[in-house]
Structure 1
Amino acid sequence: MGVGEQLVTYVTQNGYYIWEEFYRHFLMAAYGVLFASIVAIPIGILISRYGRLSKWVLSFGSIIQTIPALGFMALLMVTLGLGTTTVITTLFFYSLLPIIQNTYVGMKSVDQTVIEAAHASGMTRFQLLRKVELPLAVSVIMAGIRTALVVGIGIVAIGTFVGAGGLGAIIVRGTNATDGTAIILAGAVPTALMAIIADLIMGMIERRLNPANKASAASQ
């Protein structure tokens, strides 16, 4: 029996299990990036206001990125134990840099003449942030979230080594089997598809939120 036939047989017999792990995998990635966004976007806005902080904050984020994901999970496992919490927390830290960096760049790229005009019209700093700066920077911020999510889907696959399950569990099961190529593919292919679909959907959202595209759509 060829690999293709073995793959079809395995998916047919274990379809529910694969879907369950797919859903679990996606939730871990989504939660990690969501929690990181809640923290990272305000930090990005803050360091765009106080430039001296940007170097330290971005350097801290870069240091985290240099630590191997599995090693980071192992460190967290000592305090958080086995399971999804360790994986989500790891992804939280790994997602901070791209989101903070893009938020910082997005806020800094807002045209100063627009900001000055908003100030002249009597807007408060909060109104300026909510009505002018964030709408103009949101597509750049979304690009950071998009990057974090796509990378995060790959990181979550390693989470099986700390008992979190996900599609990585299927891949590892295949590596332990005598002829497990089909099982490996049953985990690897959905992981790749998840990353591709997430990238496409987030890319569509990013383009829709781009101020230039909004203006073009409004003029038509």
Structure 2
Amino acid sequence: MFRSVVAALLIPLLAAPVTHAQAASSKTESKPAETQPADAPVQQAEEPPMDMDFDLLESSTAAEAPVAVDPKLEKAIARRRTMLSIHQGLGIAMAVTLAATVVVGQLNFDDRYRGYGDTGKYRNWHTGLVVGSSSLFAGTGLLGLLAPTPFEKKLRWDTITFHKIFMSLATAGMLSQVLLGRLTEAREGKLSQVDTVRAHQVLGYATLGAVTAGALMIVF
């Protein structure tokens, strides 16, 4: 009898419904984990904004330091440039005048010594061209020699050096031409005058060749 009464009291307690807390706990455990869609954007951690305050032209001590300019050096360079420009222009005029002198000299030689009548029609032209070409040659050479040299130059076998060599030979030829011309006039009427004139003629062509070679050294 007593056992039946205890069983009747315990059975309802054992069969009582679970509490709300237990039900909520079971629902949480049974609920599947939520997943994000495949195409959902991935959120990245925010980065601090880039500092746009920078200088494109970085300052340096060498760039900021003023360059010292020597007024005397600048003046010498400008003077040299001017003198060499005039030297070049006079050189071209001299070469053309010298070529005309040689041509007219050849005509004068033929007129006097090769039986063309010795008319003397080329004599004054030849004399005038000799004076003109000699003056231009002297002026051109002086401009080249007196032009200042601001920078020290070492001897190099370049076109400028060969130009100077050929023009030195031409200078010797011009001086010899003047002396032979005077000697030819002094031997007027003598048989030896023909030999002097021929030497004068050959030396004239050699001088023109040296001037031409010197000019080509500058052009090329």
Normalization by structure 1: what TM-score? 0.29
Q: Which structure is larger by alpha-carbon Rg, 1 or 2?
A: 2
Greater RCO, CA 8 A, separation 6+: 1
